[in-house]
Amino acid sequence: MANALDQIFVNLKHWLLAWFPSAWQPLISMVISAAAIIAVFGSLFAVTTLAERKGLGRIQNRPGPNRVGPFGILQPLADAVKMLTKESIMPQVADRFIFFLAPTMMLIPTLLSFAVLPYGRNMAAVDFDAGLLFFFAVGASIEMSVFMAGWSSRNKLALLGAMRAIAQMICYELPLILSSVTVVMVTGSLSLGQIVDSQAGFHGGWLARWHVFTPWGLAGFLLFMTAATAESNRAPFDLPEGESELVAGHLIEYSGFKYALFFMGEYFGMMAVSGLGITLFLGGWRAPVAGLDWVPSYLWFFGKLGVCIAVFIWVRGTLPRLRADQLMNFAWKFMLPLTLINLVAAAVWHYTGVWSFGGAAAVRWLLGAALIGVPYVVLGRALYTGHGHGPRTYRYAT
């Protein structure tokens, strides 16, 4: 019974496929997967916009939208109607073709990256041998769309915003990829399905063997999520679209449906990279404790995705925006060394796995935590104390 519920979508797809002649089946299979992904994540996008507005509202001591439906449930519908009926203005001197193409160039890579994530048991749309590399490759293409948006507007502010956005995305790509390399190293495979499989089994019979329950996994997860927040231009790293500074930066000249597409692309990116973090560190569709194994796998995946999105919203409501130079210092001077040390810690954990004396797990944990924690504290003290509180020196004022 539990197995049937778990595989219900897989069986549904096979049943649908059986209606078509076998020559057409690969194509139809791709179409069904793509349609399912777009439908699910499209509606998740709508729910996320509402959840974000209400969540941010409650954090800021106000109710959030509650006029449109009961508790504001129909607000995404109202937003969609607004976006569709707004006038789509294109500046006269703008580069028409690139201006038109930039939002689609933002959406296509993010939708492509949804294809490799395993949403449940046997539920990845495609399972590449180098699935993780595919994910990062299409993620890197998003920067092109940011540039295209900023350049084609022929607006100096948009150009500044695009430059800052690209610089930020490039800075944080390195910690993102390096923190996922630890998982690849320990698992020995780039395939996301195999990474989820390597997190099977339970410690001592009850706690799952997720990578996040190891010291390098925890550090890697936190680093990955920080870099992911920066990659999808979300607070506190939302300088490119700082509303109070650059008035949406590279998106200044976009209005109406094109702006909605950018917005959608940003949210899709956030959900995709959360999905990757869940796959790499939180055990994908696996249950956290042995007793809850009967819950369908896709419910676990989307539950974890919901928690990740909630944490994103929580962090957005809490932290102020980072300045451009603070952002880049943080990436290069703090996160990069920590990710490299994390690699070493993962190797140490892997090779001390053969220890089997009593209390070995605790010793390994302490060793790993010390290996990562000491540089964290030292780097933190070295970089972030002291300066900023002395008398100001001006370089150009006499």
Partner 1 sequence: MSLLGAGIIKGLVETARNFVGSYHDPERLTTVEYPEERLALPENARSFPMLIFDNDPVKGLRCVACKICEKECPPQCIYIVQDRDPRGKPLKFPRIFDIDLSVCMSCQICVEVCPFDAIKMNTEFELSTEDRFGGLILRREDLAKSNEYYLEIHPTEAAETDARLAAENAKAEAKSRAPAPATPAPPAALPKPPAAASPAPTT
Partner 2 sequence: MHTGSLLLLVLTLGSAVAAMSLRNLVHCALCAAITFLCLAAYFLALSAEFVGFAQILVYVGAVAILIVIAILVTRDIAERGEPLVFKPWILGVGVAVLVAGSLVSAVTSSALARDPLPPAPTATVEAIGEKLMTHYVVPLEVIGLLLTVALLGAVLLARPQKEGGNRP
Q: Give the shortest CB-34-to-partner 1 separation in angstroms.
A: 36
Q: Give the shortest CB-315-to-partner 1 separation in angstroms.
A: 7
Cα–Cα distance measured from residue 292 to residue 295, given in angstroms and rounded to the nearest whole number: 6
Given candidates 36, 46, 78, 98, which one binds partner 2 under the rule CB under 8 A? 98
Binding-site partner at residue 318 among partner 1, partner 2, none, CB < 5 to 8 Å by type: partner 1
- Torsion angle of C-alpha atoms 206, 207, 210, 215, degrees rounded to 10: -150
For partner 2, the closer of residues 164 and 286 by Cβ is: 164
Binding-site partner at residue 95 among partner 1, partner 2, none, CB < 5 to 8 Å by type: partner 2
Distances (CA, A) of 356 to 11, 161, 352, 363: 43, 55, 9, 11
Segment near partner 1 (CB under 8 A); pick from 32-40, 44-52, 209-217, 375-383: 375-383
Phi, psi for residue 79 in degrees, rounded to 5: -60, -40
Of 142, 358, 98, give the one whose Cα is nearest residue 253. Answer: 98
Given candidates 314, 355, 360, 374, which one binds partner 1 under the rule CB under 8 A? 314
Cis peptide before 26 (omega within 30 of 0): no
99 part of the interface to partner 2, by CB under 8 A: no
Distance of CA 265 to the CA centre of its chain: 12
Binding-site partner at residue 128 among partner 1, partner 2, none, CB < 5 to 8 Å by type: partner 2
Binding-site partner at residue 385 among partner 2, partner 1, none, CB < 5 to 8 Å by type: partner 1
For partner 2, the closer of residues 59 and 108 by Cβ is: 108
First to last CA, the chain: 79
Say which DSSP state 320 is in: P
Question: With contacts defined by CB under 8 A, how many residues of the chain interact with partner 2?
Answer: 34
- Tell me which residues in 180-219 interact with partner 1 (CB under 8 A): none
Cα–Cα distance measured from residue 307 to residue 301, given in angstroms and rounded to the nearest whole number: 10
Contact, 368 vs 348, CB < 8 A? yes
Segment near partner 1 (CB under 8 A); pick from 40-48, 58-66, 72-80, 237-245: 58-66
55 part of the interface to partner 1, by CB under 8 A: yes
Q: Give the shortest CB-133-to-partner 2 separation in angstroms.
A: 4
Cα–Cα distance measured from residue 243 to residue 239, given in angstroms and rounded to the nearest whole number: 8
Tell me, residue by residue from 184 to 203, as one string, x for binding to partner 2 by CB under 8 A and - for no binding.
----xxx-------------
Tell me, residue by residue from 121 to 150, as one string, x for binding to partner 2 by CB under 8 A and - for no binding.
-------xxx--xx-xxxxxx-xx--xx--
The encoded tokens of residue 65 equal 């939208």
- The count of C-alpha atoms lying within 13 angstroms of the C-alpha of 332, restricted to the half-sphere facing its C-beta, is 10
Q: Rg of the Cα trace of the chain?
A: 23
Q: Give the shortest CB-210-to-partner 1 separation in angstroms.
A: 22
Burial bucket for residue 143 (CB in 10 Å: 0-12, 13-18, 19+): buried
Q: Given the rule CB under 8 A, which residues bind partner 2?
A: 93, 95, 98, 128-130, 133-134, 136-141, 143-144, 147-148, 151, 154-156, 159, 162-163, 166, 170, 173, 188-190, 395-396, 398
